[in-house]
C-alpha cells in the first residue's frame, strides 16, 4: 500500500466532456487539484437535442491529447513525476470510454506507471473526500443524466445500494422536459432558469413513489403528466413554460426529499448513522434540489456535503482522485482491462475482496 504523497493523472471521456486533471493525495487529508481541464461538446450535440455517441467519440479522439498536455503543463509536472494513470473505464458511451482508457494504457505502458481503471460512478461517489475529506461511512445521493441512486458509501469499493430509479434518471427527466418545452440542450440548467420565474403551484403534477418503504425513484409518470398538461394549454406562452418548469422542479424536489429521507432511514438501520449526506452528479448542481437535501440532512443531525458545481459534472479531477484512493490501497489494473458500457457500482472491487 501507498502511504506517501502521490500525483495522479485522471482521464474522463465517458460522455460529452473530454477532460484530464492532475491531483495530489496525501494520507488522511482532502486532496489538492493541480489542474482540471474540461472541454465540453455541448455545441456539437445541441442541434440533436442530446448526445450522439459517434460524434462524441470522434471529438474525444481529436481533443484528448491536447487536453492531457494542457493538464500536465498546468500541474507543472512531467509524466515521470506521476505515481499512476487513472481513466474512466465505464460505465458510459463505449466509444468514448475506449478512447480514454486506450490513451491511459499507452501512457502507463510508455512511462512504466500503474494503471487504474476507474468506475465513473465511484469517482462521483468519492469526490466529497477530495473536496472535504469526508469520512466513511456516508450516504450518497448520486443524480446525473444517466443515473439516480442512493448509496451507502462504506469505503473505497464498498457500496450498498439503498435505492435507484426504475425508469428515467432525474437528469434525463430534466433534459426531456426541456426538449418537450423547446428550451434546448442541456436541459437541466435551462429548466432551472425558467423555474426561477414560474409558479410552482399552477400545475398539480404527481409525486411518484413517495411514501414507499423502499428508496426507489420513478420519473416517467411525472414526465408524462407534464406532457399532458402542456398539451392541454398549447400553444404555450413564455409564462406557461416557466410555470410548467417550476411545477416540474417542485415535484422533483418533493420526490427527492421523500426518497432521500427513506434512504437515510435505511442507512441508519443497516449501517448506522452516516457521517454526512453527500450529493454528486450533474443534478446536484441544481439549487432547488440542494435545498431539499440540506433539509433531509438537517433533520437527522448531519451535514450536507455538496462539492462545487464544476466537480459535480463530469471532470478529470474526480477520476484522478478515485484513482489515487484506489492506488493508496494497492488496487491497480492490468493493461488488458476492458472498457465497460455497463458497470454497476456494487460490482467495483475493493481491497479486501
Looking at residue 136, its pLDDT comes to: 97
Query: Is the C-alpha dihedral spanning 255, 249, 309, 343 positive or negative?
Result: positive
Identify the pLDDT of residue 45.
45
Q: What is the pLDDT of residues 188-238, one digit of tens each?
A: 999 999 999 999 999 999 999 999 999 999 999 999 999 999 999 999 999
**Residue 21: pLDDT over 70:** yes
The answer to whether residue 46 scores a pLDDT higher than 70 is no
Q: In the structure, what pLDDT confidence band is assigned to residue 48 with cuts at 50, 70 and 90?
A: low
Q: What's the pLDDT band for 110 if we cut at 50, 70, 90?
A: very high
CA 60 to chain centre: 19
pLDDT score recorded for residue 184: 85
**Distance (Å, whole) CA 82 – CA 218:** 43
Residue 257 has a pLDDT of 98
pLDDT of residue 122: 96
pLDDT at residue 53 in the model: 65
Q: What is the pTM of this model?
A: 0.91
Cα distance between residue 272 and residue 339, in whole Å:
35
Question: In angstroms, how far is CA 191 from the centroid of its own chain?
Answer: 19
The pLDDT tens digits of the residues spanning 91-103 come to 999 999 999 999 9
Tell me the average pLDDT of the chain.
92
Cell readout for 261 is 429521507
* pLDDT confidence of residue 50: 60
pLDDT at 326: 97
Ordered by where they begin, the domains of the chain are 6-131+311-347 (3.30.420.40), 136-310 (3.30.420.40)
What confidence category does residue 271 fall into, taking pLDDT thresholds of 50, 70 and 90? very high
Beta pairing class for 115-119 and 84-90: parallel
Q: List the one residue out of 297, 293, 277, 276 whose CA is nearest residue 285.
A: 293
Give per-residue pLDDT as tens, 311-348.
988 899 999 999 999 999 999 999 999 999 999 988 99
With 70 as the cut, is the pLDDT of residue 1 above it? no
Collapsing DSSP states into helix, strand and coil, what is residue 142?
strand
Amino acid at each position: 500500500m501507498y502511504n506517501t504523497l502521490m500525483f495522479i493523472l485522471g482521464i474522463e471521456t465517458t460522455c460529452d466532456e473530454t477532460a484530464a486533471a492532475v491531483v495530489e493525495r496525501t494520507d488522511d487529508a482532502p486532496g489538492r487539484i493541480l489542474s482540471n481541464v474540461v472541454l465540453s461538446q455541448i455545441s456539437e450535440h445541441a442541434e440533436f437535442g442530446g448526445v450522439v455517441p459517434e460524434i462524441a467519440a470522434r471529438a474525444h479522439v481529436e481533443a484528448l491529447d491536447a487536453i492531457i498536455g494542457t493538464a500536465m503543463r498546468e500541474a507543472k509536472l512531467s509524466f515521470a513525476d506521476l505515481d499512476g494513470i487513472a481513466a474512466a473505464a465505464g460505465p458510459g458511451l463505449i466509444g468514448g470510454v475506449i478512447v480514454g482508457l486506450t490513451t491511459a494504457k499507452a501512457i502507463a505502458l510508455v512511462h512504466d506507471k500503474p494503471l487504474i481503471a476507474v468506475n465513473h460512478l465511484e469517482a462521483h461517489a468519492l469526490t466529497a473526500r477530495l473536496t472535504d475529506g469526508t469520512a466513511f461511512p456516508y450516504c450518497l445521493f448520486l443524480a446525473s443524466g444517466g443515473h439516480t441512486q442512493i448509496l451507502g458509501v462504506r469505503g473505497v469499493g464498498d457500496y450498498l445500494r439503498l435505492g435507484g430509479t426504475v425508469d428515467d434518471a432525474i437528469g434525463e427527466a430534466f433534459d426531456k422536459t426541456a426538449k418537450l418545452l423547446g428550451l434546448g440542450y442541456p436541459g437541466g440548467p435551462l429548466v432551472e432558469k425558467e423555474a426561477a420565474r414560474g409558479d410552482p403551484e399552477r400545475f398539480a403534477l404527481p409525486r411518484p413513489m413517495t411514501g414507499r418503504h423502499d428508496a426507489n425513484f420513478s420519473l416517467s409518470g411525472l414526465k408524462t403528466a407534464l406532457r399532458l398538461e402542456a398539451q392541454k394549454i398549447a400553444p404555450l406562452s413564455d409564462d406557461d413554460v416557466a410555470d410548467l418548469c417550476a411545477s416540474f422542479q417542485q415535484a422533483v424536489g418533493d420526490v427527492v426529499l421523500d426518497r432521500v429521507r427513506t434512504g437515510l432511514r435505511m442507512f441508519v438501520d443497516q449501517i448506522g448513522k452516516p457521517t454526512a449526506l453527500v450529493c454528486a452528479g450533474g443534478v446536484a448542481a441544481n439549487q432547488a434540489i440542494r435545498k431539499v437535501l440540506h433539509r433531509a440532512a438537517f433533520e437527522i443531525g448531519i451535514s450536507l456535503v455538496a462539492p462545487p458545481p464544476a466537480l459535480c459534472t463530469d471532470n478529470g479531477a474526480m477520476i484522478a482522485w478515485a484513482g489515487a484512493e484506489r492506488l493508496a490501497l494497492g488496487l491497480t489494473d492490468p493493461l488488458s482491462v476492458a472498457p465497460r458500457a455497463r458497470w454497476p457500482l456494487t460490482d467495483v472491487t475493493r481491497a479486501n475482496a
